[in-house]
């Protein structure tokens, strides 16, 4: 199946007389005829459902669709993108381990790594995504267990050289984890470029309608845990909490990573996505292949308009030929990047505030990456407690406006920007 067909049909194939649409299995528990039958599930001898804190059929249908879109071997949904990022790393790292991460990542992920996971005793080295191979290799330590980056970083809009990061990760015997939220598998499939594990905040384009928070983890099934068995004892030695099962042996390279994350992390931490949310996510996925090209087309038109505007100081959009990442983006995302554009209004913080007041079509929201055009001026909203100096240190210029271009008529969006720019 091509990606457009996968968006509609992958993951769920109803049999004779069954519901056409993925059913919402709104049930916490599942009934078994005998204790023995249930016992086999607890021993991981047979696959099946026993409690929705670990697994739910609705979620699994939707995860299977995303898995097909990414070209993976197994996948799971999580309650949020944050949970997906956390599980993806914590599934193979523990206290005294180390992770190499791109410094251009989502702020929530940066906090998760740099504050919360450090408190768990996991060490992180953040590298400039544009670093040389030498600099990247120098970041590894004997206890490094994973490398993490974002295809298109939110909000910096840097584009990850996936092949460069995959080569460094593999040379050091560890997997590359890529957060593919902004590109979506419609525009980029990181596994094809060497990524081993892909994560998503499905809250963004995949859901696409501001309806449901969620996340997803996809495993490529390609990373050879046994070739680096000493680094990944959690996958290559018996799990006493599951009667001595060795995940990589019993479930193969294709199934080990996701089975372990489900059996251990979901069981113990319980960050399952509600089946109702998975159903809503699936509705979004069905039109993802139609929406992404429109997001990119609209964003490019908006970026080109802004670049020519006399009241605009700078524009950052990886689809613009003038952008630093244009060539990298063309390589990894030949059909387009994403709908998010950032730019600076001449006159700094004051002018940006006036600009925001003049908008009518673009809605002020902290959210990004969905059907509605929305806009944020961090200096007067999320980062308002900071002065100009502090903002600069945080990598957010006082004039920065982040515009998430939706799928409305682009002329309405541009007219809105034109009217608001007149105000400043």
Ligand X SMILES: *Cc1c(COP(=O)(O)O)cnc(C)c1O
Q: Which residues bind ligand X (CB under 6 A)?
A: 80-82, 85, 106, 108-109, 150, 154, 179, 181-182, 201, 203-204, 213, 215
Shortest distance, CB of residue 70 to ligand X, whole angstroms? 15
Q: Cβ of residue 160: shortest distance to ligand X, in angstroms?
A: 11
**What is the DSSP code (8-state) at residue 371?**
S
Structure tokens at 125: 């080295």
Residue nearest to ligand X (CB): 81
Whichever of 105 and 169 has its CB closer to ligand X, that residue is 105
Tokens of 389: 């100096």
* Closer CB to ligand X, 182 or 343, in the complex: 182
- Minimum gap (Å) between residue 416 Cβ and ligand X: 24
CA distances from 215 to 36, 88, 91 (A): 34, 11, 15
Tokens (6 digits) for 40: 């086999």
CB of 69 to ligand X, least distance (A): 17
Between 179 and 399, name the residue whose CB sits nearer to ligand X: 179
State the nearest-atom distance from the C-beta of 116 to ligand X, in Å: 13
Cite the DSSP H helix spans in 43-152.
Answer: 57-70, 81-90, 107-111, 118-119, 133-138
Outline where 340-387 has alpha helix (H): 348-357
Q: How many CB atoms lie within 10 A of CB 321?
A: 9
For residues 145 and 143, give the distance between their C-alpha atoms in angstroms, rounded to a whole number.
6
- What's the distance, CA 204 to chain centroid? 9
> CB of 283: closest distance to ligand X in angstroms?
17
Residue partners of 391: CB distance under 8 A and separation at least 6 = 378, 379, 383, 397, 398
Q: Which is nearer to ligand X, 88 or 259 (CB)?
A: 88
DSSP-derived pairing of the beta strands 144-150 and 312-316: unpaired
Decide: residue 387, CB within 10 A, 0-12 exposed, 13-18 middle, 19+ buried: exposed
Element (DSSP H or E) covering residue 257: helix 252-260
Provide, rounded to whole angstroms, the least separation between the CB of residue 126 and ligand X: 15
Region for 336 from its dihedrals, namely left if φ exceeds 0, alpha if ψ lies in -120 to 50, beta otherwise: left
Measured CA to CA, the distance from residue 387 to residue 236 in angstroms comes to 50
Q: 108 or 358: whose CB is closer to ligand X?
A: 108
CB of 87 to ligand X, least distance (A): 12
Cβ proximity to ligand X: between 151 and 323 the closer is 151
Closer CB to ligand X, 213 or 413, in the complex:
213
Q: Residue 180 or residue 259: which is nearer to ligand X going by CB?
A: 180
Least CB distance from residue 214 to ligand X, whole Å? 6
How far is residue 187's CA from residue 87's CA, in Å, rounded to a whole number? 24
Nearest-angstrom CA–CA distance, 348 and 399? 4
144 versus 181: smaller Cβ distance to ligand X: 181
């Amino acid at each position: 199946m091509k990606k457009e067909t996968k968006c509609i049909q992958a993951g769920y194939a109803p049999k004779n007389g069954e519901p056409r649409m993925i059913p919402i299995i709104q049930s916490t528990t599942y009934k078994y005829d005998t204790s023995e039958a249930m016992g086999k599930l607890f021993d991981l001898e047979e696959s099946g459902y026993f409690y929705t804190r670990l697994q739910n059929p609705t979620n699994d249908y939707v995860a299977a669709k995303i898995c097909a879109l990414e070209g993976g071997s197994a996948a799971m949904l999580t309650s949020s993108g944050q949970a997906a990022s956390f599980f993806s790393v914590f599934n193979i790292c523990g206290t005294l381990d180390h992770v190499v991460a791109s410094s251009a990542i989502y702020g929530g992920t940066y906090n998760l790594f740099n504050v919360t996971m450090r408190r768990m005793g996991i060490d992180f080295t953040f590298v400039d995504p544009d670093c040389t191979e030498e600099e990247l290799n120098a970041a590894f330590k004997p206890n490094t267990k994973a490398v993490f980056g974002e295809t298109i970083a939110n909000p910096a809009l840097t584009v990850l050289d996936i092949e460069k990061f995959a080569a460094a990760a593999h040379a050091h015997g560890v997997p590359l984890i890529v957060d593919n939220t902004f590109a979506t598998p419609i525009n980029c499939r990181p596994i094809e470029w060497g990524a081993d594990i892909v994560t998503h905040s499905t809250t963004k384009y995949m859901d696409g309608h501001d309806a449901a928070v969620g996340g997803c983890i996809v495993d490529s099934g390609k990373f050879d845990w046994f070739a680096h068995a000493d680094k990944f004892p959690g996958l290559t030695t018996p799990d006493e909490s599951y009667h001595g099962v060795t995940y990589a042996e019993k479930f193969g390279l294709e199934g080990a990573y996701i089975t372990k994350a489900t059996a251990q992390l979901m069981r113990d931490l319980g960050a399952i996505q509600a089946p109702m949310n998975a159903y809503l996510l699936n509705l979004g996925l069905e039109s993802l292949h139609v929406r992404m090209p429109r997001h990119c087309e609209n964003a490019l038109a908006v970026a080109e308009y802004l670049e020519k505007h006399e009241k605009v100081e700078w524009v950052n959009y990886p689809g613009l030929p003038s952008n630093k990442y244009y060539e990298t983006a063309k390589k990894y995302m030949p059909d387009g990047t994403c709908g998010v554009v950032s730019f600076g209004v001449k006159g700094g913080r004051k002018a940006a505030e006036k600009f925001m007041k003049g908008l009518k079509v673009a809605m002020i929201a902290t959210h990004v990456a969905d059907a509605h055009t929305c806009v944020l001026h961090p200096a007067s909203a999320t980062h308002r407690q900071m002065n100009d100096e502090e903002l600069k240190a945080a990598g957010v210029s006082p004039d920065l406006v982040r515009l998430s271009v939706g799928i409305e008529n682009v002329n309405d969006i541009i007219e809105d920007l034109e009217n608001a720019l007149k105000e400043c």
